[in-house]
Amino acid sequence: MGISTEQIRAHIHQDRFCIKEAPDRNGFICTLSDSRQYRIRAYNLNPDVTVNPEGESEPRSISVRSKISKLFGQSNSDKIKRIVEAQHDPYKFLAGKVANTKAKVTREPEKKTVVIGFEERQTREVDIAETELRNRCQAAIKIGKYYSNYKYRKNLLLYAAKLQVMQDKDKALPLSEQRRPLEFVIMQHPTKRNWKGEARCYYVDIDGILKTTRDPDTVVSREVSGGTKTVVAKDDVAIELAPKKVWVKNAYGQKFLKAGADFDLEIELENKHLAQQFSRYTSICQTVAVSSRRMIGQNGGVDVFDEVILAELSVDMLCCEQLCIDIKHAHQNHIYFRDIKSENMVFKKNKQGIKHPINIDSPRVRMVDIDMAVSEDYGVKGKNKGSPKYMTLGLMKARVSAEERVRNALVNYNNAAHSSYDVKAKLKERYDLAIAKQQSAEKYLDNYALLATLFEMTEVRGGFQVDEVVERYGAIMPPPKGFAYFCSEPDMVTGWITQYFKPEAKNDVWLFMQDPSTYLLKKPVYDVIDWERIKVDSTMM
């Protein structure tokens, strides 16, 4: 027993009408106003489809709208949703959608009548609605074709670029002479423009590990400079950096700004491989050099130091949870950041919508500028990098001595190439022990810098307490002990520890923040913070 298409159309605009996907995904379950359920077969291409009754009492509650983006693409799903929300005929929508998946849709001319009666007017409105819907479905098919063409062109470019990189490496060419020294494929948008008015470029990683980045659209009103880089453009998604301009004197003693030196391609290629290892961590903003004068990265939000600390505001500790998780996981994989500080933290509460900013449900603090990070395979080792304010003299000496011990152990092991097996095994054991001590020194430095950064971000006026060591010892050499030993308000630090840390770890954290080279904190920072209590306190507020 079946019902006709006219019976479905008679109930199509009733409030109790709904369409849900069938459990076997071979059609849709149609519930009419009489509470009876019928199955619409999806493989029928004829608009006059047969609708058969279905005896299922609890159909799967997946709306037909969830299939729109899969069939027509995300960019066109909003248009089709508006068609359904405007109370157009869902049956015609389904019929047009199924017909367009396997057959080409031809635009039918509108029916014209001289005398418009009730039936003629109704027929004309239906034909206009069907024509409009078919045109939109045909546009969706074109979008799908463009997307498939984009994927095809992208794969061709990636294949050609890999061949070029392999050929250049086989020829042993220096990076400055290679065609793709940083191993990126550049694709240009046909219509959209970047901040220079040129075609917007998209940078695709040859290895497919890094996310595809693009040029920003807006020039910054005020350039923000760091040690060696300057922000020249950014929008809600991307940020572009260039070498920092430097002041020089001419032959007459006049000062003028000169373009900074190009990025070192050897170092930037190392940083790119290091960024590939960081790609698994969501709290790390990806920033990579795509040429010798251009660096593209993700825009993580406003600068925490300028917008929060200097304004005597604070960030919720829960916004730093993912950052602590990622740093703990990175240390387990022998990746160390070496420059954790509040100046390298960004924070985003909302993102730009179509008309107004949209609040983010779970905002988080993210880290930028990880050029000083090192791993077992990549990174510039052997240099005592970092900000003196976020380390102590004892931690710095421990790092220097550990790196020197590693170099000496490696030299001794290489010189013993023709020695006996027992001698080489003993030297290899000494080398492994030196590596373990070096990794421990780097981990303690990161943990101390992370605690100082968390104190600055989550405690009002906490940054001024950390800055007191700079006022006393300067910004060139690190202080002999931790900032908690020299701060003028130690009760602020103890209150902060009592509020956020586990009871059994409070004393260890307090001693570590006073003298980290003497009282070592064995556990990761994430493990000593009482996240459960923080979440309960935040829900009660």
Residues 6+ apart with CB under 8 A from 132: none
Work out the mean pLDDT of the chain and round it to a whole number: 76
Q: Residues 178-226: pLDDT tens digits? A: 878 888 888 888 888 999 899 999 998 888 888 888 999 888 877 777 7
Q: Which two three-digit tokens encode residue 240?
A: 């572009």
Q: Residues 119-139: pLDDT tens digits? A: 555 565 566 666 776 676 666
Burial label, 531 (beta-carbon count in 10 A; 0-12, 13-18, 19+): middle
What is residue 195's DSSP assignment?
A: T
Highest mean pLDDT among 67-71, 124-128, 209-213, 443-447: 443-447
| Residue 508 pLDDT level (bands cut at 50, 70, 90) | very high
Per-residue pLDDT, 117 = 52
Task: Say if CB 274 and CB 253 are below 8 A apart.
Answer: no
CA 8, chain centre distance (Å) = 47
Per-residue pLDDT, 526 = 95
Q: How large is the average pLDDT for residues 381-393?
A: 77
Q: Residues 245-260: pLDDT tens digits? A: 888 887 787 887 888 8
Query: Does the pLDDT of residue 171 top 90, yes or no?
Result: no
Q: Which two three-digit tokens encode residue 50?
A: 């047969």
| Residue 418 pLDDT level (bands cut at 50, 70, 90) | confident
With CA atoms as reference, report the closest residue to 382 among 340, 447, 442. Answer: 442
Amino acid, single-letter form, for residue 435: I
**DSSP assignment string, 117-158:** -HHHHHHHHHHHHHHHHHHHHHHHHHHHHHHHHHHHHHHHHH
Query: Does the pLDDT of residue 16 top 60, yes or no?
Result: no
Q: Measured between alpha carbons, how far is residue 404 from residues 22, 106, 331, 397, 459 in Å?
A: 67, 76, 21, 11, 38
Amino acid, single-letter form, for residue 502: K
Separation of alpha carbons 137 and 158, rounded Å: 32
Query: Does the pLDDT of residue 450 top 90, yes or no?
Result: yes
Per-residue pLDDT, 36 = 57
The stretches of 11-113 forming alpha helices (DSSP H) are 68-72, 74-85, 90-102
Asked which of 78-92, 238-252, 400-414 is least confident by mean pLDDT, the reply is 78-92
What is residue 306's DSSP assignment?
A: I
| Residue 26 pLDDT level (bands cut at 50, 70, 90) | low
Task: Say if CB 394 and CB 515 are below 8 A apart.
Answer: yes
Separation of alpha carbons 260 and 293, rounded Å: 9
Per-residue pLDDT, 367 = 93
Per-residue pLDDT, 473 = 80
Q: Looking at the whole model, is its pTM more than 0.85?
A: no
**DSSP assignment string, 207-234:** TS-SPPEE--SSEEEEEEE-SSEEEEEE
How big is the CA angle at 169 (ends 168 and 172), to the nearest 5 degrees? 90
Per-residue pLDDT, 48 = 32
Amino acid, single-letter form, for residue 121: R
What is residue 399's DSSP assignment?
A: H
Q: How large is the average pLDDT for residues 475-479?
A: 83
Percent pLDDT > 70 in the chain is: 69
| Residue 296 pLDDT level (bands cut at 50, 70, 90) | very high
Separation of alpha carbons 476 and 11, rounded Å: 79
Beta-carbon-side half-sphere exposure of residue 36 (alpha carbons within 13 Å): 12
Q: Residues 300-337: pLDDT tens digits? A: 888 888 888 888 888 999 999 999 999 999 999 999 99
| Residue 494 pLDDT level (bands cut at 50, 70, 90) | very high
Q: Measured between alpha carbons, how far is residue 335 from residues 331, 332, 360, 450, 524 in Å?
A: 5, 7, 29, 15, 14
How big is the CA angle at 399 (ends 396 and 403), to the nearest 5 degrees? 145
CA 406, chain centre distance (Å) = 35
